Amino acid sequence: MEHVFQELLQHYFHGPVHSIETVPFGMTNESRIVAMNQKKYVARIYNRHTKNKERLRFEVELTAYLERCSLSFDIPGFVSSMDDAKYVVLSDGSLGSLSRFIEGEVPDLSSMTDVLSYGRTVGEISYALQQFESDSVDVVCPAIAFHDVYNLHSLSNQTKINEFLACPPFDIDAEQIAVLQGYYESVINHAAELNALPKQMVHHDILVFNLLINPQSREMSGVLDFDFAAMDIRIWELSICLNHLLQHEDQTLTKVELFLDEYRKYMRLTRAEIQWIPYIMQLYYVSLLSIYIGQHLAGRNIASYFHLMLKQLQIRREWMERKQHEFVELLYSKCL
């Protein structure tokens, strides 16, 4: 893999770079932090199953649009190669790019201040994404539909997912498989109702791992990783973020309320959207499991990730059984 990164960097710099460091993130793509001329960049080699030229051209346009929005945080814009291209096709056919490095640290969701900043950031970028329209005839805006669980990875269609669940390649509790199969059946039955909900551009992955915060001001300094950005039902963004927040502390709704107080400054939802949020929050883990099954079929070892998502699904399912009424009332009070 390192020789592929060396080939990529030859398209951007004359001579050898000062340093290349591996990073502790990036399951979807291969990434490195590169230092050159007293500046830092993120070099990326894209996963062929999730990124093609069309998808990459869209990401280039979307991030350029967000850079023009005067947001309170930064976006990792694409750096032009020596041929003035925003991405490179390498000799093995893979795609690569270089983007600006943004300084900051991972937010701490045990901190009330960081929770406020998180809610504000999600609301702000959601509002900006709501206004996005492609101004290029050469760019096609993708539509992922995260609730379309059989079309989230090119290798994990309905047949392959059913085969995986019928004969798992590693140990999975039979009761968990039965619960998971129930979700797969339910989403087909609810497809028409979900497809009727309002849609907009959605990031799909605004987790702390894709956020950077200023360690002094505790204001967000960057939102990263637009790999899964696409048109989708808009409550996916809030649902994913609320799941993430509750993973850190779910005994009370205090942090959810703080988050929503900031989110509502930018975004409001319909009553129908709010009613579907509890289901979408659970379905999120099913969607991730579909992606992991595709990654398994592509040769990745996904056992630990798969078990983690199954556990999170169980936790959220049981939490909703206890808290759903109180939770939905809070959403009504803050988001209508």
Q: What is the pLDDT of residue 31?
A: 86
State the SS3 of 191-216.
HHHHHCCCEEEECCCCCHHHEEECCC
Spell out where the chain has E strands. 19-22, 30-36, 39-45, 88-89, 95-100, 199-202, 211-213, 220-223, 230-233
The DSSP secondary structure of 217-231, one letter per residue, reads: T--EEEE---TT-EE
3 state SS of 98 = strand
Q: Tell me the residue type at 215.
A: P
3 state SS of 120 = helix
Q: What is the pLDDT of residue 20?
A: 78
Q: 97: closest CA among 36, 41, 153?
A: 41
Q: How far is CA 144 from CA 101, 120, 202, 315, 333, in A?
A: 27, 25, 9, 26, 30
Q: Which H helix or E strand runs over 61? A: helix 53-67
Question: To 5 degrees, how large is the angle CA 80–CA 84–CA 87?
Answer: 55
Q: What is the pTM of this model?
A: 0.91
* First-last CA distance in the chain: 49
Q: How far is CA 15 from CA 11, 45, 80, 168, 171, in A?
A: 10, 20, 17, 49, 50
For residues 87 and 74, what is the distance between their CA atoms, to the nearest angstrom? 20
Q: Copy the structure tokens of residue 85.
A: 């291209």
pLDDT in tens, the chain (336 residues): 678 888 888 999 887 777 777 776 555 678 888 888 888 999 999 877 677 889 899 999 999 999 999 999 999 999 999 999 999 999 888 999 999 999 999 999 999 999 999 999 999 999 999 999 876 657 788 888 999 999 999 899 999 999 999 999 999 999 999 999 999 999 999 999 999 999 999 999 999 999 999 999 999 999 999 988 999 999 999 999 999 999 988 889 999 999 999 999 999 999 999 999 999 999 999 999 999 999 999 999 999 999 999 999 999 999 999 999 999 999 999 999
Do 190 and 279 meet the contact criterion of CB atoms below 8 Å apart? yes
